């Protein structure tokens, strides 16, 4: 059995080598994509958000956390490598960190299933959030995913149920939660780790209910119209800040990591000051107020 897996893995490795899908070409791919798009346009932002060697949660763990211990498994089915969870010290503060990311090298990408988590990943995250609640540790989530994995196994093991559970439990988790979207915030798969007291976005990240390609193929029956779709979906960090969906945009420069560390520490300390009931009430209200609608007084009749 183990040998089978090993062989399979080696084969994938070889085929990856054959197709020259190493780290370098990924970056090239991203660059060529960048070259084709108008700088500053929504689709340009999408391309930037998908660059393979963007800053991700693991970078933050390596940079900012001391004594980090990774914890595995959902205690029900298995472990999901797309999501890394663990505990460590952020200065003197013990925190639980959960990071969903795509991986930078080919091997890492394969291991992480290209950042698309299975139900066991969301369940592992929830298990560790509940653990954080028990030990009164704040939770930091980093998210970069094109979406929760859609495949046979994921459906069989209740992808919808796993995400739904997370949304519900995170809403009343009795400890501060902070979510940072580092690259792509792909629909329910991202939201499953982004029901938080504050959600921040990296300058060049995106957050959307559907990928621009998906949207274009449904709406215009043509994937090539994804630039239009990206524009229409208003998925850039600037758009989302103006809508009040996120609280902060983290500028991307050579000081990103140190800047992020300072900001996260500041925010966590201020959230820890709050009474737990107040914290949960604020989190509820944060999501409660999102969205616009009209409430007409007269009785409307549709023919």
Which residues contact another protein (rule: CB under 8 A)?
A: 148, 150-152, 154-161, 163-165, 167-169, 171-172, 187-188, 191-192, 195, 207-210, 214-215, 218-219, 232-235, 240, 243, 245, 283-284, 287-288, 290-300, 302-303
Q: How many CB atoms lie within 10 A of CB 3?
A: 7
State the Cα–Cα distance between residues 29 and 14, nearest whole angstrom: 20
Smallest gap from Cβ 27 to another protein, in A, equals 24
Q: Minimum distance from CB of 149 to another protein (Å)?
A: 8
Provide the residue count of the chain.
303
**167 burial via Cβ count (<10 Å: 0-12, 13-18, 19+):** middle
Burial 43-63 (b: 16+ CB within 10 A, else e): bbbbbbbbbbebbbbbbbbee
Nearest to 126 by CA among 192, 198, 200: 192
For the bound state, the minimum distance from the C-beta of residue 194 to another protein, rounded and expressed in Å, comes to 8
CB 118 to another protein: min, Å? 11
Q: What residues are paired with 97 via a beta bridge?
A: 86, 140
Distances (CA, A) of 67 to 80, 85, 250: 22, 13, 25
Residue with Cβ nearer another protein (83 or 215):
215
* Of residues 241 and 265, the one with the C-beta less far from another protein: 241
In whole angstroms, how close is the CB of 152 to another protein at the nearest point?
7
Comparison of 86 and 186: residue with beta carbon closer to another protein: 186
3-state secondary structure of 215: helix
Pick the closer one to another protein by CB: 29 or 280: 280
For another protein, the closer of residues 72 and 127 by Cβ is: 127
Tokens 């197709």 found at: 19
115 half-sphere exposure, CB direction, 13 A CA radius: 30
Q: Kindly write down the DSSP assignment for every residue of 39-81, as one continuous string.
A: TTSHHHHHHHHT-TTS--HHHHHHHHEEEEEEE---SSS---T
- Nearest distance from C-beta of residue 186 to another protein, angstroms: 10
Residue 106: Cβ within 10 Å count:
21
* C-beta of 99 vs 159, nearer to another protein: 159
Decide whether 73 or 188 has the Cβ nearer to another protein: 188
Give the nearest distance from C-beta 280 to another protein in angstroms. Answer: 9
Q: How far is the CB of 251 from another protein (least distance, A)?
A: 21
**Nearest CB to another protein, comparing residues 86 and 119:** 119
What is the distance, to the nearest Å, from the Cα of residue 287 to the centroid of all Cα atoms in its chain?
Answer: 17
Helices 159-171 + 276-288 axis angle, to 10: 120
> Which of 87, 116, 88 is closest to 101 using CA atoms?
116
Q: In whole angstroms, what is the distance from residue 232 CA to residue 212 CA?
A: 9
């Amino acid at each position: 059995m183990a040998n089978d897996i090993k062989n399979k893995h080696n084969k994938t490795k070889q085929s990856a080598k054959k197709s020259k899908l190493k780290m370098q070409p990924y970056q090239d791919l991203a660059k060529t994509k960048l070259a084709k798009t108008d700088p500053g346009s929504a689709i340009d932002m999408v391309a930037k958000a998908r660059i393979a060697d963007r800053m991700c949660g693991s970078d933050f763990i390596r940079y900012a956390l001391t004594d980090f211990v990774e914890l595995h498994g959902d205690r029900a089915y298995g472990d999901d490598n797309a999501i890394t969870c663990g505990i460590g010290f952020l200065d003197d503060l013990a925190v639980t960190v959960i990071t969903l990311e795509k991986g930078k090298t080919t091997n890492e990408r394969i291991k992480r299933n290209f950042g698309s988590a299975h139900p066991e990943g969301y369940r592992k995250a929830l298990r560790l959030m509940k653990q954080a609640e028990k030990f009164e540790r704040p939770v930091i989530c980093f998210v970069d995913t094109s979406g929760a994995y859609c495949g046979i196994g994921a459906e069989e093991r209740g992808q919808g149920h796993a995400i739904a559970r997370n949304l519900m439990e995170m809403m009343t988790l009795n400890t501060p939660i902070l979510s940072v979207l580092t690259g792509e915030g792909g629909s329910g798969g991202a939201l499953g780790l982004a029901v938080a007291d504050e959600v921040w976005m990296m300058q060049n990240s995106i957050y959307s209910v559907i990928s621009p390609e998906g949207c274009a193929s449904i709406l215009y029956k043509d994937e090539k119209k994804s630039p239009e779709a990206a524009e229409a979906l208003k998925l850039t960090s600037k758009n989302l800040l103006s809508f009040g969906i996120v609280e902060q945009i983290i500028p991307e420069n050579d000081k990103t990591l140190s800047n992020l560390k300072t900001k996260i520490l500041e925010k966590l300390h201020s959230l820890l000051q709050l009474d737990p009931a107040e914290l949960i009430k604020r989190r509820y209200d944060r999501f409660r107020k999102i969205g616009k609608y009209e409430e007409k007084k007269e009785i409307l009749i549709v023919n």
